[in-house]
Each structure stands twice: as structure tokens, then as C-alpha cells.
Amino acid sequence: MKMRHLSPNFQFITTLIMSLDETIYSEFNTSSEFHEVYTKTTSRIRRILFPEIVTGDEETEAEYSKASIVSRFAVPTQQLKEAVLDLLNVRAQPQLAPEVVVTNNIPQFVQKLSSTHDQHEVLQAAKMVHQLSKEEKIVVSLASSEPLVDALIRALNTASDEETRRHVAAALSHLSANQLGAAYIFRSGGIAELVRLLRCPIASVINYATTTLHHLLVYVEQSKQEAIACGALEAFVPLLAPQTVIPQSGPNPKLQAMVADSLYFLLLDQPQCKNTFLSLQGPRYLVEILRTESNYIKLLYAVVRCIRSISTHDENKAMLIAIGGIELLHRALKLMDDDKRKLATLNALRNLSDAATNLETLNNLVNDLIILVAQQDDDELVGCACGILSNLTCNNILNKKAVCTAGGISCLARALAKFCNIEDVTEPALCTLRHCTVRHPLAHQAQNELRFAHPIMLALLATGRPPIVKASLGLLRNCSLSNENLRLILNEKTPDGANVLTLSIEFLEETGRELAKDWLGLRDGVSLLEMVEGAISALHQFARDPTSAALILHRPVVMNLLVDLISNPDVNSTNDELLMREIMGLIYQLTKSRDGAKTVIAYEAQPHIVAALQSPHKSIAAYASIILKNMGIDQQSFFMSRSGNYNGTTNSNGFSVRSTNNLHQQQNSATNSLERNRSRQQMGWLNDGMEPELYNELYNYPPSLGELRQDHIEGTQHNGSWFDTDL
């Protein structure tokens, strides 16, 4: 900045004043008197303004204490100095964290919340705790104080106004998100009060109570039984439809999701709770939520988990199926956005599917499951989908056809190879293929489609794992119904040189010995009797090959086992004809040759075969008849001599003889039935693996054999195990 130009006059005056000042100062400065006054004055001012710097050597004069202008200035100066020092001291101290400050004040909160005289004080304390509990850092300190949690629970119990309850419930919901806070709430007996709040007419209070209870169910295992005892189940179920409980309230997906997930914990492994849930119409509430087509995935997932829990209960399962639960779960499956939720939905479907064999509306579900198996690499998802397919194709012709027409046979065969070491995939996949290769119009096509999969089927059989062996034998047996497939299967060998026949025989011998020791025994969860049945059923078809039949005849363990079984009352007198029928079928194949018939006679099987003529099961009696023919035994005379229930006379030996007219009437009846149902029934026999000659034997052998039951041929419901056993 440039200095302004000064006028000459001003410069002269300034110079003159400065000269005079210097002259006067120099004169006074040389005076000792002035120096003394100056020193005393500055010292006095210094002592007044800054007394703390005065040393003991400096004298103190009495007049200094008298009031003066300087002393008056000293008062605010001293105050300012002290304020500055205080500020400096505050900045020098370490700053306390908010949670520490809150922790130090918790005793005050407890005291105010426990006040019994001033409800306003309780309300203010509840508000303060509620606000503080919203802070992430502070809520941990609050949740770690058991006295504070106790005080909140007591305040919840004694509060006379809804606002206090609301703030306390809100604070508890935040504290319960911490595991320690949830434990303190449980220990303080808070569950009973929280359950009571579920019936409060205020929506926000219900939300807070539901959130807190859900946190307790997640974090504190013991809280489940406590909640059940306090009536939480009965209080939760109506909240699945909150608009019907809370006045002027509409659907609340977030609340419904929390309620459904809480119910999941209460229902899990609790049969009595599942009964109560059913009586409260719980399944209907869940299905209605699925029916609303909500896009809130958390709600759908919570409902699916709840359905998965109750779907293991027969009565709940029946209701869910009856009101469209399977179809709605299928729709929910398409909305699930991750594998975890898809798996939960598939598990719920699998639990329901074993009781849904009568449904005729699941074609789209079958198609989607086939696509899932083809596209997924997750073995859990694929295994669950295969399990559903196995259940749906059991005794259901429509679903079997749906699998075949959707390319499911080759898809499942590829899954066997892809997941060959994962039993949770291979077992249900084998069972599904077993179902689809028998007793429906496309069964023969399915059998032929599996020709490329014979090696993997044999490899799975060679694992020796009972569940896999049982399923593999059933599938190989079905594929062997075709002569061409039988030849290919018998020629297939493992890397060790074993074939399907030797593996089946060894498996039968091993399980037969175990069965003799324990008729009701299990191996890896599979009944020994079922394993023996599966092996005999497979050998029944393999024995159609003369070379294979000869090999079986030369296995004494197998032959003795067959005779022991047909002589066992648990086999020949049971309502389940399948095992006895398959044994008789195998013996029939073995007796088709002269040497085979002689071998069977040598094992003294004929008395038991003669006894089978009177079996209430038509197929068994027909097998007995044709076996006796192969042996060269006159079964007519044997049967006539052993029958005592004919409408006729008694011969000289004391045996009843049926009248000729009655005999011809039965023959005519059987012939007429044969003509009416020939095409349909022949398909049934052939698809079931029973020989055409047996079919003719059945309808031309009159004394005790009548018409085949239509449900056996057409695939409708039945008693026993004529059809596939369930997975």
C-alpha cells in the first residue's frame, strides 16, 4: 500500500512534537526520582493484576489494598484468566465415550423406572432409555445391565398408561437384538408380559412385542418352552392376519413375516403344538398368505419355513394339500431369489408330496422339477427335487407320463452320473426311474431310454449301500422286462468283472442270512425283508435267461432261502402278496427246464407250492398251479383233495367235490371277464413283470381263481404293495 503524501505543515508539527517528547523523556529519565516512581507503579499494577507471580522478596504495602481504578480492573481480569484456565483444563482431559456416560447414568434410569409414586418420572425415564437404545454404540451398554432390564420389565407390568408401555416395549425390542439383552429379558420373566402385549389393540406395541419375542426365540433356547407355556402360540396365530385383529389395520407383511418365523420356532419338533396350530386354523392362514401373491420375499420365506415345520404332521399335511398348499408352494418356488430359500421351499414340497399321489394338477410342477435337476449344480437342490419326483411318481400314472414326456428319464440318468457319489441324489433319482419304468403306457419307452445308463446303474449296485442297492435292483428289474434290455443288462460288467446276476445273488445271500437272525432287522435304515424282496424280484426277471436260471439253481444258499421263505407263515399268510408272488415267480422260471424242476423238487418245495394253491391272492395261486405243471404234478387232484369249501358232494376219501355245473359256471364267468378286459389287463400284467402264460393260467384255472381286481391293473389306490413302495 502506498503512503499518502503528507503536507509540509503537518510534517513540521509532527517533528516538533517528537523532539519535545524526547527532550522531556530524556530529562525525566535522568532523574532518579522518576525512576523510583516508575518502578513502584509498575510493580503495584503487576501485583494487583497477576498476584500469583509475586515473589516473597517483593514488599507489600498497605495502601495497595485500597480501592483504586487498577484494582477494579483486576477483578474481571482475574475472572477471565480463571475461565481461560478452566477451558484449558477441559481440553487437556481425555474425552469420555457416550457409552461410558450412559453407563454411569444407568443407576439413575433404574431408580426413575422403579418409581411407584411419580408415573411422569417413569414415562420420562422410559422415553430416555428408548431414545438411547436406538444408538448402536449405546444399546450394548444398556443391554449389558441386568438391573436396567429388570426395571423395564417391572415398569411394563406396573405402567398404567399406554404411552409408557409403548416406550418400554420399544426399548426392550432394541435391547433384545443383543444376545445378552435377550438372555436378561428371559431371566427377568419378561416373556409372560410380552405375550400379554400381543393382545394389545395398539399396532406399534404389538410390533415391538413380536420383535422382542422373536429375538428371544432365536437367541435363548429355553425361551421356546416358556413361550408355549405362556400361550404365545395362541396369541401369535391370529396375527398371521393382523387386519382381522388390530382395529383399522391393513395387511402388514413385516409383522406377518416376524409372526410366521416365531411360529416356526414354536412348532419345530412339537407335535402337541402342531395339533393346537391345526385347531386354530393355522394352515389356512399360511395358505392365504401365499394366495395373496405377496412379493415380500421375507414373508414368503417365513411362511414356507412354517409350512415345512408342520408338513411332517399328518393332519396338517392333509389340510395343506386339501386347500391347495402344493400348488401355491410351487408358485412361491418361482419367486425365491436364492438357493437357501429355494431349498426350504423344496423341502416343504417334499414333505407334502408323499401324500399327494392322488392329485392330477401337478404336471407343471413335475416339468419345473425336471428343469431344475437339469440346470442345477447344487446337490442339495437336485436331491430334494428328485425326492419330490420320486414321491409324485409313486402310483400316479399321470405324473409318470409327465416325467417321460418332459425328457425326465434321460435327465435323471445324467444326474445319476453327475452326482454318482452323493447318495441323497442317487437314491431318489433311482426310485423315480424305477417308478417311471413300470405300469403306465410309456413304461417301455422309458426302459429303452435308459440303455445308455446301464453302466452307471450297475456301478451304483456294486457300491453295496443298502438304500442304493435296493433302488438299483428295482430299476434294473424293470428295465429287464424287455428281452433286448435283459440281454444288454446281463452282458454289462463292472471293472472288477462282476455282472448284475452275481451281484444280485451275493446280495440276496448276505441279506438272507441276516434276515434269518432278525426278521425285523434293518441295515442302514432299510428293512432286511425289503432288501430280500428286491433281490428276489430282480432275479425273477434275470432267470428268464436260461443261463442265469442255471446259475441260480447251483446256489444252495439261494435255493434253501426260497424254500424257507415260502414255508414261513409271515410270508405265505400275509396280506402283502408281493414277496410271496415274486418268490413263486422266480421258482416258476427255475422250473421251466426239466433239470430245474428236478432241482426244486430236490429241495422239497412242492408241499409249500401245493399249499399256495389256496392263497387268497390270485396271482400266487396261479403261479402255484403253473409250477406244479412244470413239475409234472397233477395240481387239479391236489387242489380238489385239499379244498373243503365247494358246493358239491364228498368223495370216498372224505374230500369235497365241486359239482360240474358250478365248475363250468366259474369257467364261463372267467372267460367272459377275460374277453371284456383282455387288452387292458394284459398291459397290466406285462408292465408288472408277470408272464403272459401266467395270465392265461389265471383265467383258465377255475376252482379258486376269480377276476383280477381292476385297481391292480389300472393303477388306482390299493392296499398292500402291489405298486411301488414309497420313497
Are the C-beta atoms of 141 and 99 separated by less than 8 Å? yes
Cell of 619: 396271482
Q: H-type helices in 50-118, by residue range? A: 69-92, 98-113
Instruction: Quote the mean pLDDT of the chain.
Output: 83
Q: Is the pLDDT of residue 302 over 50?
A: yes
Banded model confidence at residue 573, pLDDT cuts 50, 70, 90: confident
Q: Is the pLDDT of residue 638 over 60?
A: no
The reported pLDDT for the residue numbered 270 is 94
Banded model confidence at residue 655, pLDDT cuts 50, 70, 90: very low
The reported pLDDT for the residue numbered 530 is 94
Residues linked to residue 522 through DSSP beta bridges, in sequence order: 527
E strand or H helix that includes residue 530:
helix 528-542
For residue 657, give the DSSP letter.
E
Compute the residue count for the chain: 727
Indicate the SS3 state at residue 54. Answer: coil
Cell of 630: 412244470
Q: Is the pLDDT of residue 246 over 90?
A: no
The reported pLDDT for the residue numbered 654 is 31
- Cβ-based burial of 566 (10 A; exposed 0-12, middle 13-18, buried ≥19): buried
Nearest one of 401, 312, 412 to 369, comparing CA atoms: 412
Q: Is the pLDDT of residue 599 over 90?
A: yes
Q: How far is CA 29 from the centre of its chain?
A: 104
- All structural domains of the chain, each given as residue ranges with its CATH number in brackets, are 22-55+66-92 (no CATH), 365-496 (1.25.10.10)
Residues linked to residue 656 through DSSP beta bridges, in sequence order: 650
Are the C-beta atoms of 490 and 477 separated by less than 8 Å? no
The reported pLDDT for the residue numbered 637 is 58
Question: Mean of the pLDDT values across residues 18-45?
Answer: 65
Question: Mean of the pLDDT values across residues 68-76?
Answer: 70
Q: What is the pLDDT of residues 420-461, one digit of tens each?
A: 999 999 999 999 999 999 999 999 999 999 999 999 999 999
Give the relative orientation of helices 483-491 and 454-461 as an angle to the nearest 10 degrees: 60
The reported pLDDT for the residue numbered 698 is 60
Banded model confidence at residue 704, pLDDT cuts 50, 70, 90: very low
Q: Is the pLDDT of residue 10 over 60?
A: no
The reported pLDDT for the residue numbered 243 is 82
| Weakest mean pLDDT among 31-45, 80-94, 496-510 | 80-94
Tell me the C-alpha distance between 464 and 510, whole Å.
11
| Weakest mean pLDDT among 123-137, 160-174, 453-467, 680-694 | 680-694
Are the C-beta atoms of 306 and 318 separated by less than 8 Å? no
Residues linked to residue 648 through DSSP beta bridges, in sequence order: 658
